[in-house]
Amino acid sequence: MPELPEVETISRWLREGRDGAPPLPKQVVRSVTLRWPRHVARPSPTAFKRRMRDRTILDVQRRGKYVTLVLDQGVVLIHLKMSGELKVLHSQAPRERFEHTVFHLQSGWDLRFLDARKFGKVFLLDDPGVILDTLGPEPLDPRFTAESLGRRLAQHRRSVKVLLMDQSFLSGLGNIYIDEALHRARIHPLRRSDSLSAGEVTALLRGIRQALRSGLRHNGASIDWVYRGGEFQNHFRVYQRTGEPCPVCSKPVARIVVAQRGTHFCPSCQPARDG
């Protein structure tokens, strides 16, 4: 699933334009084609198509793992889930496989939502806070401090890996960047969240931000056939590097399963501890 760096990169490409396609801001939606109506979570597919007609896209933003299209009336939230992909293509471009939701623009271009597994969701809301306010803080927000993170961690008795996966706790993180951040912080993924010292909390927030910023510098990670264009996969420290040498100590990277997710760490740099 695309995480914060991948979704931020996609949002930037849509906002600024890429590969000859125009930026989405100032584009007017002529109509919408829904080939998989269940893509639309709110409102009904019929109401969605009606309300999107002649809407102007003012901006493209990101919140958590949502791509956000700010309109002159309302806001569209798009969650890519496991296999979603957004492309801006000329309206005359051949239809691609798995195109389920297509925004036809008056300029002769389309915003096409491809989704092989059909898990993605689209929302058109007058108040996006209905969904976005349920998300946790943005980890790169300078107002989010180590003290804030420490207070939130201390309120739970869950493994730190599981807690960081929870989007209501901290938004935008997923399997890749959590593994990378925990390695940078030298914290075992099964450490209980309320057992971390103040120094470890500071190291954790620093590790999260370092991992995310590295991902952003490399346009995210391309790890399967869905999201392409990133290079962060060439800079993984532990993720999907089972048995390979740790870049810090050269001991083999290990893999365990945490909350049904493959989890990668260095047993030497990230030792298990009581609590």
The catalytic residue positions are 2-3, 65, 261
Q: Identify the three-state secondary structure at position 262.
A: strand
The candidate with the shortest Cα–Cα distance to 10, out of 90, 48, 82, 67, is 67
The candidate with the shortest Cα–Cα distance to 180, out of 207, 203, 217, is 207
For 116, the token pair is 């092989």
For 106, the token pair is 């008056």
* Buried/exposed code over 125-146 (b: 16+ C-beta within 10 A; e: otherwise): beebeebbeebbbbbeeeebeb
Helices (H), 53-193: 129-132, 146-154, 160-165, 175-185
Q: Reduced to 3 DSSP states, what percent helix, strand and coil does the chain have, rounded to the nearest 5?
A: 30, 25, 45
Which helix (H) or strand (E) segment is 31 a member of?
strand 29-34
Pairing mode, if any, of strands 261-265 and 254-258? antiparallel
In whole angstroms, what is the distance from residue 113 CA to residue 191 CA? Answer: 39
In whole angstroms, what is the distance from residue 60 CA to residue 189 CA? Answer: 34
- Residue written as tokens 């623009």? 105
In whole angstroms, what is the distance from residue 13 CA to residue 22 CA? Answer: 10
